[in-house]
Structures are given as C-alpha cells and as structure tokens.
C-alpha cells in the first residue's frame, strides 16, 4: 500500500467544515481592514529564501525542499512573506496609491521532525502590510487578530510583544550578547555555542540554558532613541485599543529580516501541549530593499491553520447540520426531488434517498451520512401536502406543510 509522504497529511471530508470556517472568517475579518487576497506560486527560486530568511537559519540550511530544474535551483516555499515581497516588486504593486495590504492562505513546506500539530506540508494564513512606518499599524494588526480569534470563539491566549531594534542599535546589542555568551561559554549547550556566530539572538529559544540566559542583556534595554519611540508608540496604541499584552524581551523570530516590532499569540489552554504558539509576526522594514525593491517598510504575521484548528472551541467542532429526504413510491420520490431543490435554493445541504432502496435502507444511509434531520414523504404525506420531519438525535417527529419546511428548519437551526 502506498502511503502519504512522512509529515504530510490528508485533510478528510469530515475535517473540511472547520477549515472552511477558519478560512472564511479570516477573509471576512481581514477584508474589513482593507486587506486583499494574493496568491503566489508554491515554487520560488531558492535565492529568494536564502537572501530574505538568511543563509545561516535552520530553515535555509536544513529544512527546505530544494531541487534543480533547467539549471535553476528551486525551492518549495517554507513561508510566504518573501514570495509576497517578490510579487510586490515584480508586479510594481508599490506604485499603486496608498499603503499595500495583502493576505494569503495556502500550503508551505519544511523538512522538520513531524510532531503534534506540526507537519512537513502545513498551511498558513498570513497578512503583509507595506508602506506604513508608524507603530499604529503594528497595533492594528494585533487588534485585527483579536477580532479574528473572537469570531472563532478563541479566548484562551496571551499576546507577547518585543522590539528587535534596527540596523543601528541591534548590532551593538548583539556584540554585548556575544560577550555574555563568551563569559558563559563553558556552561552553554552545543546549540547555543553554535548560534554564537551564526544567529546569536536565537540563543533565547534554548530550553536547556534558561538559568544562564536569565542574566544575559536584553534588547529592550539597548534600543536606540528612534526604536524606543516606535516601541512606546506601539505600546500606547495597544493600550488605547484595550488589548492586554506582555513584553517578552527574549521573544525573537527565526528569520533574519525582522526589525523592531515582533509579536506572538500563545495559547493558554491545554489544547496544543508544550508547543503552544498560535502565530508569530513582526516588522521587516529592510526586506523589500534586500530583494532589490524600493525603500519600503513592511509588517506581517503568519499562523498555522493545523494548530489553530486544534485550539478551536468544541462548539465549532460539532458536525454541521445535514439533511436527507427519504421517500416511498413514485409520488414520494417526485416530491422529494422538488423539496430537495427548494432547500438547495436556500443553501441547505441535502441528499435524496436512492429510489432503488426501501425506506428502512434509506434511513440507514441517512445515518451513515451523518444526517441530523430526515424528511419523509410517502403516499399519506403526498396526499396531505405535508412532510414528516424526524430529528435523528432525539427521535422526535413532527408534520409540517411542504411550503413551511424551510421556515421550520430555519427557526430550529
């Protein structure tokens, strides 16, 4: 038997309603903030990621799916910010009026060790906003995410924020951090020692050396005046929006292009276990230039759909309403077809029983399909112009005029 590739998962029909709910809610919420959907290719030139994410990152060094094609090295996208920036530059979207706001929904690929809620093909929803350098948009994105979570019924989370400084103050801070790492090198783990030269900020991700890390200098004490002003404006905007947040000086991102604001939404429920991050994002004011575009600031985030679905409340994970029309004899079948089409005109999902099956077999089929309600039309119902409605959960039955079936199920939905 041929099985799915390790770390890649089928999304089965019974799971799809949850995915659709998340995607539809994202579209509804993001578009009220004037974000527009963009769809970029899954395959991109490998150079796009090595230049944007950073050659020394684990993603580029170890995790990308890369191959040669017609003498060009291509990679399956491990994230989509770089792809959106490439599309912005290539299609000259920055020449349009005003700031540019985009959102995307789609699969990403990383060769990571599969674990709960983490796959090698995974799906992300994200936004990217270009052209607004002020701190208000940073806070507005978090406000938008709070609305998105509220619409999904998710309230068990906390917002963690930090500033990573800029290209003026961050190098000075990194030198202080390296000095602290050198002083503690004898007690640091192998990974931390390796990160000292390649990506020292990532030392704060270490779970082993937490005691030593507690004494290391933090970036929020080493911001330049401009970065401090931006961070203060960000905090002030969040306060005006009544959004609680926690400053985490050790919060860093795994991608080289981040500057200043960085943030993370962390689940406080037990649904995700120890890997409790719901999403992460931040500002990347120099990335467009790095990829040969104009001087243009940007900020965005990405959330993993698989992990978000695990955090959804139980009420959203219940099976959606599903209807079935059972019938007896030719007259019942003809009326069943008419009723089903009338219901579909109103967006109701409904199946009609196979005319070759007896009524008992039709009820078995309805049960297998997960029908929550069965409409029955037999000779008696046909004569009287009514439909017998059976609730499959309670077994309750009632008789309703055919013309009032839609009003009845709307009232009881």
The residue-averaged pLDDT of 21-34 equals 96
Mean per-residue pLDDT for 310-315?
Answer: 82
Which backbone phi and psi does 252 adopt, to 5 degrees? -125, 165
Backbone angles phi, psi at 152, to 5 degrees: -90, -5
- Nearby residues of 325 by Cβ (< 8 Å), 6 or more positions away: 336, 339, 340, 350, 351, 352, 353, 374, 375, 376, 377
Q: According to the model, what pLDDT value does residue 315 have?
A: 61
Q: pLDDT at residue 247 above 80?
A: yes
Highest mean pLDDT, choosing among 31-45, 59-73, 265-279: 31-45
Q: Name the residue among 372, 368, 328 with its Cα closest to residue 348.
A: 372
Residue with tokens 């649904």: 271
Q: Running DSSP on this structure, what letter comes out for residue 96?
A: S
Which segments of 112-167 does DSSP mark as H helices, in order?
Answer: 136-152
Dump pLDDT digits (tens) for 111-164. Answer: 988 887 789 999 999 999 999 999 999 999 999 999 999 999 999 999 999 999
**Whole-number average pLDDT of the chain:** 90
| Domains located in the chain, CATH noted | 16-169+223-316 (3.30.930.10), 320-412 (3.40.50.800)
Q: Find out whether 56 and 198 touch, Cβ atoms under 8 Å.
A: yes
> What is the number of other CB atoms lying within 10 angstroms of the CB of residue 243?
15
Give tens-digit pLDDT for 251-296. Answer: 887 566 789 999 999 999 877 776 788 999 999 998 999 999 999 9
What does the pLDDT average to over 354-380?
A: 93
| Residues facing residue 300 across a β-bridge | 128, 282
Structure tokens at 176: 């202080």
Which pLDDT tens digit goes with each residue over 160-202? 999 999 989 999 999 999 998 888 888 888 888 888 877 788 8
* Residues in contact with 388: Cβ distance below 8 Å, sequence separation at least 6, in sequence order: 375, 376, 377, 378, 381, 397, 398, 399
Please give the average per-residue pLDDT across 230-256, as a whole number: 90
Q: Which comes out higher in pLDDT, residue 254 or 60?
A: 60
DSSP 114-128: -BTTB-SEEEEEEEE
State residue 119 phi and psi, 5-degree precision: -125, 170
Positive or negative, the Cα torsion across 236, 242, 247, 248?
Answer: negative
């Amino acid at each position: 038997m041929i099985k799915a590739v390790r770390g890649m998962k089928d999304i089965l029909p019974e799971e799809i309603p949850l995915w659709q709910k998340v995607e539809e809610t994202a579209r509804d919420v993001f578009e009220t903030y004037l974000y527009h959907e963009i769809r970029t290719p899954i395959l991109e030139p490998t150079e796009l990621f090595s230049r944007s994410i950073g050659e020394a990152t684990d993603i580029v060094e170890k995790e990308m799916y890369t191959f040669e094609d017609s003498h060009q090295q291509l990679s399956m996208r491990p994230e989509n910010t770089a792809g959106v920036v490439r599309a912005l530059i290539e299609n000259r979207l920055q020449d349009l009026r005003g700031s540019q706001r985009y959102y995307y929904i789609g699969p990403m690929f990383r060769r990571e060790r599969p674990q709960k809620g983490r796959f090698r093909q995974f799906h992300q929803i994200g936004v990217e906003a270009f052209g607004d350098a002020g701190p208000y948009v940073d806070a507005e994105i978090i406000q938008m995410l709070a609305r998105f979570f509220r619409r999904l019924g998710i309230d068990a989370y906390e917002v963690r924020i930090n500033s990573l400084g800029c290209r003026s103050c961050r190098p000075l801070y990194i030198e202080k951090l390296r000095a602290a790492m050198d002083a503690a090198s004898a007690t640091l783990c192998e990974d931390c020692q390796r990160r000292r030269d390649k990506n020292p900020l990532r030392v704060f991700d270490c779970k082993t050396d937490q005691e030593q890390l507690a004494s290391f200098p933090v970036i929020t004490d080493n911001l330049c005046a401009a970065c401090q002003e931006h961070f203060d404006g960000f905090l002030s905007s969040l306060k005006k929006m009544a959004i609680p947040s926690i400053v985490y000086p050790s919060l860093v991102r795994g991608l080289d292009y981040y500057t200043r604001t960085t943030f993370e939404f962390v689940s406080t429920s037990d649904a995700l276990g120890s890997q409790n991050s719901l999403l992460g994002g931040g500002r990347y004011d120099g990335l467009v230039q790095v990829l040969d575009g104009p001087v243009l600031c940007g900020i965005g985030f990405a959330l993993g759909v698989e992990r978000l679905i695990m955090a959804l409340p139980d009420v959203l994970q219940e099976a959606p309403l599903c209807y079935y029309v059972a019938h007896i004899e030719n007259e019942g079948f003809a009326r069943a077809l008419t009723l089903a089409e009338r219901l579909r005109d109103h967006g109701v999902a409904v199946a009609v029983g196979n005319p070759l099956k007896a009524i008992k077999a039709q009820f078995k089929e309805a049960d297998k399909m997960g029908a929550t309600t069965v409409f029955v039309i037999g000779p008696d119902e046909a004569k009287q112009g009514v439909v017998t409605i059976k609730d499959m959960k309670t077994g309750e039955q009632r008789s309703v005029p055919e013309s009032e079936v839609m009003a009845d199920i709307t009232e009881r939905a």
